[in-house]
Structure 1
């Protein structure tokens, strides 16, 4: 197939989880023999934080405006077998309308932010998707599974809403030798809804255990956040640095955005990445978590600082390592970029043949 993606970013992971998802997916589609073009709006904040080392997979082109996109890439979209528009694409409603009018192959919307998208639509915020566009995409690919998929079909009129969860790139995320520096770490961009959970599960634990070593890495944290003295702060880490960061922790923390907790069945990419590194995960709880990892066997669930500290201080080293090993096996068996590429390939071929995927 000739595949065209119009996504938020593949060149920079600064402040977003889209880039690593697209890099792995594009690379694996290429390995399956497909020709892939990725189109990205050139914006200053990503231009200042390009974080790729070496060539990107596929072909990547930057465009400066909607007019530039139409002028230079209409023929690419017309001849594509599959055109995928991602969530949070600048002027996404206009881009989506143009794609639906122009493409002759299968069109798809790839929602890397499904619960956020549905909440925005519910309050009339059509930043990158409008209800009128949904029926025109022959596929609605969602980071969220479960009952949300039926809602997208029933309420928004999607012909086929299907899960295409996030994944990990096992070439980047794998166990590494090195010194363990922290008892518990967290990697994530600041958000208002995640911060109270971070405080409850990690910062309160750090306050209660001054001898413990903690770290939080990620951009956009406001100056007013109160960090306990035993919590180290790091700014943005590029994806090539993630594996070393994870493997320098005894445990890593997963915190889920409030909209995704309400929807359920919305695994964070950090879950799969950390698990692929063999690092035991302590996660907040949400419906559907057990679909991806078995609590108590492949990760740990915490509801507060006291429970977090029990894991950190009472689990044996052998049990800690065994949970990390099981989680890595689970990811490599079903949650890599190669798995997602084959899933997308199957969906597109079934839709093109007139069947529901």
Structure 2
């Protein structure tokens, strides 16, 4: 166990799900953060509702590094009972996008604040939350933002930080996605996932047009190449003949999915691309598998991976197709291995957990990350 630089904390985490990635793109992020906090001596209780079929599509059992508390996804009294159950924690986290009870929890957790309890709003989709606030000045969350001890986000950089401060946040700090090397790592290629280019992502309204433009457009331009699509919601989507649709890909298969095609694609959602500085979990999953990653262009990519050496960047489907055409297995492997070395040295969840500790203790976050490395 990594020794914490601060006293061990009891942490209550209200979020979508730790045990299921089903319609839950933040699962990898939560697992990485929580597991790294446990490794540093902290105790986490993770409160998640039984909603959206996630408990019926678990991809991990209750882990030894967190206490998972599942509560009914209906009935406000159930959510309020969970909030009361968390009383006495040193740190209470309300994550965005629980999917049910969000407005209730946003307000209720603030009643737990006290001399020995800090309450943090952890935004795993800051662009959506900020757009929500900008669109409705009567939204009750406006009055709540300044009451949180801190706002954390999993992306967004200065644009998101400045926006949250305009809405009254005491402080706003990105805790970026990262790699859990025990979960995502290089494996042998799997024939099930053989392809020239793979893309893994659920079908979402503010992502679909970009998937059309970057992934399906490239497939249409390269009819002789093989393309692989994974994720939920694509079953009734018209696809080119050279695109094979796998449906939901369980977390246990993500390493093989990333490692087996010659390259894999990251396509940001509209809002994430607009704000920039928002590497999706799949960026670090792919790099952790030593995959050759092609990503759509967004501001800030060079803070995480070096374009041309550790990642390939494309502004449209034509550029994606050009990258695929020029790639060969040797170059693809070289890019993937360079990305793997970079994320291991700078972008693991151990680095992120050290950063969080430093923020909470008022220490130098950059120094804490160096120590974690």
Q: Same fold, TM exceeding 0.5? A: yes
User: Do the aligned partners of 2:106 and 2:141 also contact (CA within 8 Å) in 1?
Assistant: no
How far apart, CA to CA, are the structure 1 residues paired with 2:296 and 2:83?
43
**1:142 aligns to 2:153 (yes or no):** yes
Is the Cα contact below 8 Å between 1:173 and 1:273 reproduced in 2? Answer: yes
Shift of 1:131: 1.1
Q: Is 1:289 aligned to 2:301, yes or no? A: yes
Map of 2:63 onto structure 1: 55
Which residue does the alignment assign to 2:368?
none
The yes-or-no answer on 1:264 pairing with 2:276 is: yes
Aligned equivalent of 2:25, options 17, 22, 28:
17
Residue 47 of structure 2 contacts residue 82 of structure 2 at CA under 8 Å; is this kept in 1?
A: no
Structure 2 residue 97 is matched with structure 1 residue 88: yes
The alignment partner of 2:352 has SS state of helix
Aligned length: 347
- What displacement does 1:246 show? 0.8
Name stretches of at least 5 consecutive residues in structure 1 with no aligned partner: 352-357
Query: What TM-score, normalized to structure 1?
Result: 0.91
Quote how far apart the aligned CAs of 1:250 are. Answer: 0.6
Alignment CA distance shift 1:278-1:126 (3 Å): farther
* Structure 1 match to 2:131: 119
Distance 1:267 1:51, change over 3 A: same
Match of 1:2 in 2: 10
2:367 match? none
The corresponding residue for 1:355 is none
| Cα deviation, residue 71, structure 1 | 3.1
Matched, 1:323 2:335: yes
Q: Is the 8 A contact 1:93 1:126 kept in 2?
A: no
CA, structure 1 residues 244+53, in 2 after alignment: closer, same or farther (shift >3 Å)?
Answer: farther
- Write the distance in 2 (CA, Å) between the matches of 1:114 and 1:335: 20
Equivalent position SS for 2:196: strand
CA distance in 2, matches of 1:266, 1:321: 25
Over residues 138-196 of structure 1, what are the superposed CA-to-partner deviations in whole Å (9 max), with x where a residue is unaligned? Answer: 1100122223202211x211111001112222112111112561000000001233222
| Structure 1 equivalent of residue 6 of structure 2 | none
Q: Are 2:174 and 1:163 aligned?
A: yes
1:35 CA displacement: 1.2
Q: TM-score, normalised by structure 2?
A: 0.88
The residue that corresponds to 2:109 in the other structure is 99
* Contiguous gaps of at least 5 residues in structure 2: 1-8, 364-373
